[in-house]
Amino acid sequence: MIADWSHQIVLTASILSWFIIGAGLAQTAIYLLQLIVAAYALSMRPPVARSALLWHRYGDVAPPIALLVPAYNEALNVVESVHSMLALEYPNFEVIVINDGSKDDTLQRLIDAFRLVKFHRPYEEELAHQPIRGLYSSPMTERLFVVDKENGGKADAQNAGINVCRAPVFCVIDGDSILEPDALMRAAQPFIDDPERTIAVGGTIRIANGSTIEAGRVREVHLPWRLLPLLQVVEYLRAFLMARLAWSRINTLMLVSGAFGMFRRAEVVAVGGFTKGSMGEDLDLVIKLHRHMRDTKRKYRIQFVPEPVCWTEAPETLSVLARQRTRWQRGALECFFRYRSMLFNPRYGRVGFLGFGHILIVDVLGPVAEVLGYILIPAFWLLGILSGEYLLAFTSLVFTYGVCVSVCSLVLEEAELQRFPRARDLAVLTAVAVIENFGYRQLNNFWRVKGWWQFLRGNQGWGEMTRTGLGGAKK
Amino acid sequence: MWYVWDLSILLGALSIAIMLILILRRVLQERRGTANADQRRQLLTALIAFTENRDREALKAAILAVPAGVAINAGFEFLSLLRGAEHDDVLAAFKECGMPARVGRQLERGNVAERIHAAEMLAALDSEDASARLLSALAEDRSREVRIAAAIALSDLGSLPLLDFVLDNIGVAGQRSRRVIELFRRFPRTRFNELAVHASRADGVPVVRAAAIEALARAGGFGFADFFASLAGDASPEVAAAALRALGLTGHADAPSILASAMASDDLDVRADAADAAGRLGLSELAATLAGLMDDEVWTVRYAAANTLRSFGQPGEKMLRAMAASDVSRSQRTASLILAEGPAT
């Protein structure tokens, strides 16, 4: 009887171990593939031209762009953000701020700062959204429009903005983010170089905590002073400069961040705009675009361009970061299961195999396997099923591989952007790339498993994202 | 077992080595960057001084005292701010210092961004061998962006080869770039017929044909009105729409009938552009046809038709008001919206 139980336990342990090892190996292979493809993509990209040259070169042929800025309770930053957006270096653009039924005085601050007056602007309700209470224009600048609408969430606000805008290309940006002055010009480049096929372009999101910000511009780039945002800096570098660059190269980019993404309006309207109530509305939209273009058998490109940079505020407390990460996890799972028919479906080609395969391994199975590994591998060792030598050797390999991947993303950052001005910053980031493997990585996976749990329970809340605001000097 | 340890030690050592190299490289870059910024400042100061004292020898000494890359970039930026005799004098100093030859080498050996920039600088420096170097880049460079930049630079120098040759060298993928529009906008006026021939080629890339029509309309004037009229019914909607936009700029005796027929097209862009052109030309005799378009299934077409009706003044507004007061329909809603456009009262 005891022998039977013991046999059962060993069998279960073996199966679980193989699941954990399999998922780990698959993730490792994906990261390796990303690194190789990203390095190749970077070697094939022309180095960055100066902003003045871009203007000289593309100023006359750049397409009109509408900048859509959903704002919900953004009274703290909104005026400064809008000022900085109006000062962007782009020949033909308008800023449409969508006040999504804010409970604070976001709208009133805009009215006061820009002397807004009510305005009638004809538009077609091509996408559904909560009722618009009023449109405002400013006598100070013809580039600014404000849409005041009832609360419906970020996707709802973005859909309202898409309806109201008239430009063939729109750019979504978070109300609390800061675009670099030449970001629009750089992000618009694929729409100039390949206007027929390009339907969406994503840029790089960077963390502004710790940097000096004046008048809605990042004047001096510094690393964050606190550990939590510092850890996120390395994380963002990995996500943007490695993963997105690689997937973009092979046209399987599955995510154009909602914090800064540019889209061709006609295609977004054709797929019904952003999905309301979605936890990952940006991921959802890009998947819909892939599906639509593949279904209609049209040639298209969804690109990531590393040079345009959007600065954002990263959570500085564990509780806020936990809410953000569980929400991201729920968003990924929601999209994966909503569009599961695309997974490994030959009709969707590499999007179905590589793009969805990546979501399956990294977002769906990854966190579960890793957390199971944290719990079960030491347990097996304690039970004597696993030898101590193996435990130590593989643990060391997992950590050094993690460090190596982070270091490689720092190499990509150095080769492409070099936004951190001092050599000392690189040394700090190297240390962070090591430190993040001891605690932060595990915590992140725990939050993602929590996201899984919330997804299974049908929890649809966004949670409060407490902001301290980027307006001040060093923080 | 040991190979697992070996592998992790190797990965760890590799990571540390890579980061040390990166940090060292960055330290060197910081030093070089500071030095370059100082030298650039020195040269710009010398350039400003030259515009006052015209001491060419002093300027040449300043140019030769800084690295060629710094001199070329600062010089190009400064030259773009100057006009007339001042521009020519500074240009002469740069030529005497052998800068065009260095830029020429950059066009051959630099990375893609440097080669594009070199093509632009060669056009600005206007040296004797600039055209030959640019022609070689147009024919041989492996990057289409560089080939387009070379073509634009050749156009600026007045040495652009035959358009067919240029487009063949740019390649089909390159022709889809909006930069081709830039090339056509700078096209020599004396050779507009080449653009017209290309625009009328049924086997041409529609984007390129449309860009050629747009360039002709912007600079060619009424002389091409018959040509635009002949392309308004082209099989490619993109070309037809461009021809209608051009007609809206130049006008034509048969414009009313051409636009009326275009308003019945299957393509929404053609219908919208026809409505728009009618407004530009003030063809109020098309009011009834435009009123029909107010019921179009596509908003952009309805909006263009409504805008045009409004642009006709009182008669158009009267029609819109009548529509706005009628039973609920697409045209009624569009008319109401367009009449309400503007500051709320």
Closest CB to B344 among A118, A407, A410: A118
pLDDT at A240: 83
Average pLDDT over residues A175-182: 88
Q: Establish if A117 touches chain B: CB-CB under 8 angstroms.
A: yes
How many Å apart are CA B275 and CA B334, to the nearest integer? 15
pLDDT at A472: 46
Chain A contacts of B334, Cβ < 8 Å?
A: 122
- Amino acid type, A2: I
Average pLDDT over residues B3-12: 86
pLDDT at A475: 34
Model confidence at A106, pLDDT cuts 50, 70, 90, reads very high
Residue of B nearest to A53 (CA): B117
Closest CB to A119 among B176, B303, B343: B343
How many Å apart are CA A31 and CA A26, to the nearest integer? 9
pLDDT at A397: 84
pLDDT at A237: 87
The proportion of chain B whose per-residue pLDDT surpasses 90, expressed as a percent, equals 56
Phi-psi region of A344 (alpha: psi -120 to 50; beta: other; left: phi over 0): left
Window A:274-333, CB contacts with B under 8 Å: none
Residue A40 in this model has a pLDDT that exceeds 50: yes
Which of helix, strand or coil describes residue A426?
Answer: helix
pLDDT at A462: 58
How many Å apart are CA B104 and CA B98, to the nearest integer? 10
Chain A contacts of B241, Cβ < 8 Å?
A: none
Pairing of strands A198-207, A132-137: unpaired
pLDDT at A141: 92
Task: Please give the structure tokens belonging to residue B162.
Answer: 């035959």
How many Å apart are CA A331 and CA A454, to the nearest integer? 11
Model confidence at B318, pLDDT cuts 50, 70, 90, reads very high
Q: For residue B189, what are the CA distances in angstroms to A403, B126, B196, B220?
A: 61, 20, 11, 8
Model confidence at A467, pLDDT cuts 50, 70, 90, reads low
How many Å apart are CA B137 and CA B159, to the nearest integer? 13
Residue of B nearest to A424 (CA): B23
pLDDT at B293: 94
pLDDT digits (tens, 9 = 90+) for B72-87: 888 888 888 888 888 8
Which of these ranges, A262-266, A329-333, B112-116, B263-267, has the smallest mean pLDDT?
B112-116
Interchain pair B27, A195: CB under 8 A: no
- Amino acid type, B114: E
- Between B171 and A289, where is the model more confident? A289
Residue of A nearest to B172 (CA): A194
Window A:156-215, CB contacts with B under 8 Å: 191-197
Chain B contacts of A402, Cβ < 8 Å?
A: none
Model confidence at A47, pLDDT cuts 50, 70, 90, reads low
Task: Please give the structure tokens belonging to residue B226.
Answer: 């018959």
Chain A contacts of B72, Cβ < 8 Å?
A: none
- Between A473 and B25, where is the model more confident? B25
What are the b/e assignments for A70-87, b being 16+ CB within 10 Å?
Answer: bbbbbbbbbbbbbbbbbe
Model confidence at A460, pLDDT cuts 50, 70, 90, reads low
Q: Count how many residues are written for chain B.
A: 345
Shortest alpha-carbon distance between residue A423 and chain B (Å):
5
pLDDT at A474: 37
Which of these ranges, A12-16, A144-148, A182-186, B286-290, has the smallest mean pLDDT?
A12-16
pLDDT at A412: 83
Q: Which of B258, B245, B203, B251 is nearest to B225 (CA)?
A: B251
Q: Establish if A395 touches chain B: CB-CB under 8 angstroms.
A: no
Residue A469 in this model has a pLDDT that exceeds 70: no
Please answer whether residues A302 and A251 qualify as being in contact, where contact means their C-beta atoms are separated by less than 8 angstroms.
Answer: yes
DSSP A112: H
Shortest alpha-carbon distance between residue B253 and chain A (Å):
31
Residue A436 in this model has a pLDDT that exceeds 80: yes
Shortest alpha-carbon distance between residue A262 and chain B (Å):
17
Chain B contacts of A117, Cβ < 8 Å?
A: 343-344
Q: Give B343's strand partners.
A: A119
- Between A388 and B147, where is the model more confident? B147
- Quick count: other Cβ atoms within 10 Å of Cβ B50? 21
The proportion of chain A whose per-residue pLDDT surpasses 70, expressed as a percent, equals 95
Model confidence at A38, pLDDT cuts 50, 70, 90, reads confident
> Choosing among B15, B77, B143, which should be mutated to test the A contact, i.e. which has the most A CBs within 10 A?
B15
Chain A contacts of B342, Cβ < 8 Å?
A: 119-120
Interchain pair A60, B23: CB under 8 A: no
Average pLDDT over residues B327-341: 90
Residue B286 in this model has a pLDDT that exceeds 80: yes
What is the residue-averaged pLDDT of chain B? 90
Break chain B into its structural domains and give their ranges.
257-339
Closest CB to A195 among B4, B9, B176: B176
pLDDT at A463: 59
Interchain pair B11, A411: CB under 8 A: no
Q: Establish if A44 touches chain B: CB-CB under 8 angstroms.
A: no
- pTM for this entry: 0.87
Residue of B nearest to A52 (CA): B77
Interchain pair B179, A61: CB under 8 A: yes
- Domain B257-339 in CATH 1.25.10.10? The answer is yes
Residue A122 in this model has a pLDDT that exceeds 80: yes
Continuous H helices in A221-351? 227-237, 245-249, 265-270, 281-295, 318-338, 349-350
Residue of A nearest to B2 (CA): A393
Shortest alpha-carbon distance between residue A465 and chain B (Å):
35
Task: Please give the structure tokens belonging to residue A50.
Answer: 């100066």
Model confidence at A400, pLDDT cuts 50, 70, 90, reads confident
Residue B144 in this model has a pLDDT that exceeds 50: yes
Residue A133 in this model has a pLDDT that exceeds 90: yes
pLDDT at A2: 67
The proportion of chain A whose per-residue pLDDT surpasses 90, expressed as a percent, equals 55
Residue A266 in this model has a pLDDT that exceeds 90: yes
Q: How many CB pairs under 8 A join A and B?
A: 137
> Choosing among A21, A50, A53, which should be mutated to test the B contact, i.e. which has the most B CBs within 10 A?
A53
Interchain pair B9, A393: CB under 8 A: no
pLDDT digits (tens, 9 = 90+) for A439-452: 899 999 999 999 99
pLDDT digits (tens, 9 = 90+) for B237-262: 999 999 999 999 999 999 999 999 99
Q: Establish if A48 touches chain B: CB-CB under 8 angstroms.
A: yes
pLDDT digits (tens, 9 = 90+) for B177-202: 888 888 998 888 889 999 999 999 98
Residue of A nearest to B4 (CA): A393
SS3 labels along A322-363 = HHHHHHHHHHHHHHHHHCHHHCCCHHHHHHHHHHHHHHHHHH
Residue A473 in this model has a pLDDT that exceeds 50: no
Residue A384 in this model has a pLDDT that exceeds 50: yes
Interchain pair B340, A52: CB under 8 A: no
Model confidence at A1, pLDDT cuts 50, 70, 90, reads low
Chain B contacts of A52, Cβ < 8 Å?
A: 77
Q: Establish if A410 touches chain B: CB-CB under 8 angstroms.
A: yes
Residue B301 in this model has a pLDDT that exceeds 80: yes
- Quick count: other Cβ atoms within 10 Å of Cβ B200? 16
Which of these ranges, A110-119, A158-167, A414-423, B117-126, has the smallest mean pLDDT?
A414-423
Model confidence at B345, pLDDT cuts 50, 70, 90, reads low
The proportion of chain B whose per-residue pLDDT surpasses 70, expressed as a percent, equals 99
Task: Please give the structure tokens belonging to residue A207.
Answer: 């963390």
Burial of A15 (0-12, 13-18, 19+ CB in 10 A): exposed
pLDDT digits (tens, 9 = 90+) for B34-88: 999 999 999 999 999 998 888 888 999 999 999 988 898 888 888 888 888 888 8
Shortest alpha-carbon distance between residue A345 and chain B (Å):
30
Residue of B nearest to A389 (CA): B1
Residue A267 in this model has a pLDDT that exceeds 60: yes
